Amino acid sequence: MKALFLTNEYPPMIYGGAGVHVDYLSRELAKRMDVEVRCYGREIREERASSEHLKATGFGLDTSAYGAPKALHSVFGAVQRGVDWNSAGIEADVVHLHTWYAHMGGILAKLNYGIPMVLTVHSLEPLRPWKREQLGGGYDFSCWVEKTAIEMADAVIAVSAETREDILRLFNVDPARVHVIYNGIDLEEYRPAQTTAALVRHGIDPAVPYVLFVGRITRQKGIIHLVNAIRHFDPGFQVVLCAGAPDTPEIAAEMRAAVEAAQAARPGVIWIDQMVDKSTVYELYTHAAVFCCPSIYEPFGIINLEAMACETAVVASAVGGIKEVVRDGETGFLVPVEQMKASPFEPIDPARFSADLASRINQLMQDPELRTQMGRAGRKRAQEHFSWAAIARQTEDLYRSLIRS
């Protein structure tokens, strides 16, 4: 059996959880079958990685002749790559799509080559209305192509039970075609690190506890609510924000202003304004006293799992799949987010949400014994429930059921 992955993210171009998922799942599946990955790349059909059963090829894009507004370049680029992936020829038993950027390619593959189409939902466009800031009118296209792909897919994989409920609520899809297969974690990579060189390099004092954020600067990740919580933090610990890749210049400027205000009011607020390498991430997670995930929308929340695997206690918003990863009171604390009914994408009271985040962070900062206990429980939970080997087995079984039918 051969599976074809279509994705915008693939090493070394990874900036979110979907890219992490594709990276690890493709490698694990390649132990069981042939896997080909077609992804975005700097050069036309640049081969990026290969092994006996895994081949990855990047497809570049020349936008120099585009006359469309800049915000639409990524939209038309997604359509162009979908055509390019298909016109190159496809020899696979199943095509597996990751994020809306790959959906047009999957639709073309299913219709033209007659192969089953599997789609993993890493997030849903109707639940990310702030993407209009980034895509303009292209947001209407991303919503349309996502709806079209989900409703014609032979199988839809939801990365959490709550995501499955969102899919069934928002789209006309047979419940029997929607399967829950969680994201996973490589426990050999994500484990407690002994070194502190990366901390020192970024100006973090290893002798002083710190609360950590890792992620992109987007509305979805809720980082602004954590920055606004800093005013409520007890004295005596550092705040480390490892945050880059802003969605828009506007949110980048908003973030910079908020962080500068926090830095002026409190010592030890450190902003690592870039996406860092994995060895640095391991150190950041391991030596953090608390990891905070203030997302307002999160289908799964793989960053919480990464922190847990490094034996770090978590404070996270009680939204989406996070509630299926973090055990409240056992591996960390979940902070409720009361959201608007008409537009459930922001807290009704952002100030209260920030204050509640700060309250739980302060509680853990005052209790090293509880932090240690929660960190160990988090590692144990990651080991027992979220291995990539188990996820690959479930995915392979799904492929085979589609091919048989």
Q: Are residues 277 and 223 in the same domain?
A: yes
Torsion 149-150-156-158 (CA) sign:
positive
CA distance 252 to 193: 31
Q: Are residues 232 and 354 in the same domain?
A: yes
Q: Are residues 81 and 224 in the same domain?
A: no
Instruction: List Cα–Cα distances, 37 to 30, 94, 159, 161, in angstroms.
Output: 11, 12, 20, 27
217 falls within a domain: yes
Instruction: List Cα–Cα distances, 27 to 63, 209, 253, 389, in angstroms.
Output: 31, 36, 38, 10
pLDDT score at 345:
61
190 falls within a domain: no
CA distance 178 to 121: 10
Is the distance from CB of 71 to CB of 61 less than 8 angstroms? no
Rounded average pLDDT over 350-358: 95
Q: Are residues 359 and 237 in the same domain?
A: yes
Residue 342 pLDDT > 60, yes or no?
no
What token pair was written down for 390? 């188990």
192 falls within a domain: no
Q: Are residues 66 and 203 in the same domain?
A: no
84 falls within a domain: yes
108 falls within a domain: yes
Buried b / exposed e along 180-200 (16+ C-beta atoms within 10 A): ebbbbbbeeebbebeeeebbe
Rounded to 5 degrees, what are φ and ψ at 331?
Answer: -110, 0
272 falls within a domain: yes
Name the residue range of residue 302's domain: 197-385
Residue 15 pLDDT > 80, yes or no?
no
Chain-wide mean pLDDT for the chain? 92
Q: Are residues 105 and 155 in the same domain?
A: yes
CATH number for the domain spanning 336: value is: 3.40.50.2000
Is the distance from CB of 293 to CB of 322 less than 8 angstroms? yes
Q: pLDDT of 152-161, one tens digit each?
A: 999 999 999 9
Q: Are residues 261 and 358 in the same domain?
A: yes
Rounded average pLDDT over 155-180: 96
Q: Are residues 250 and 316 in the same domain?
A: yes
Instruction: Return the minimum-mean-pLDDT range out of 108-117, 273-282, 310-319.
Output: 273-282
CA distance 302 to 285: 13
Is the distance from CB of 193 to CB of 286 less than 8 angstroms? yes
CA distance 103 to 105: 5
pLDDT score at 121:
96
Rounded average pLDDT over 219-226: 92
What token pair was written down for 189? 């990579």
Rounded average pLDDT over 336-352: 72
86 falls within a domain: yes
175 falls within a domain: yes
Q: Are residues 219 and 300 in the same domain?
A: yes
Q: Are residues 365 and 397 in the same domain?
A: no
By DSSP bridging, strand 155-158 and strand 117-121 are parallel
pLDDT score at 148:
98
Q: Are residues 231 and 259 in the same domain?
A: yes
Is the distance from CB of 353 to CB of 337 less than 8 angstroms? yes
pLDDT score at 320:
87
Rounded average pLDDT over 366-387: 96
Residue recorded with tokens 């908020």: 258
Instruction: List Cα–Cα distances, 183 to 22, 31, 159, in angstroms.
Output: 10, 18, 6
pLDDT band at 340 (very low <50, low <70, confident <90, very high): low
Q: Are residues 130 and 155 in the same domain?
A: yes
pLDDT score at 50:
62
Instruction: List Cα–Cα distances, 75 to 8, 30, 35, 72, 175, in angstroms.
Output: 12, 30, 26, 5, 29
pLDDT band at 44 (very low <50, low <70, confident <90, very high): very low
Is the distance from CB of 142 to CB of 186 less than 8 angstroms? no
Q: Is the peptide bond before 12 cis (omega within 30 degrees of 0)?
A: yes
Residues 6+ apart with CB under 8 A from 370: 313, 364
Per the structure, the count of domains in the chain is 2
What token pair was written down for 235? 């004295």
pLDDT score at 136:
87
Residue recorded with tokens 């828009």: 248
Is the distance from CB of 246 to CB of 252 less than 8 angstroms? yes
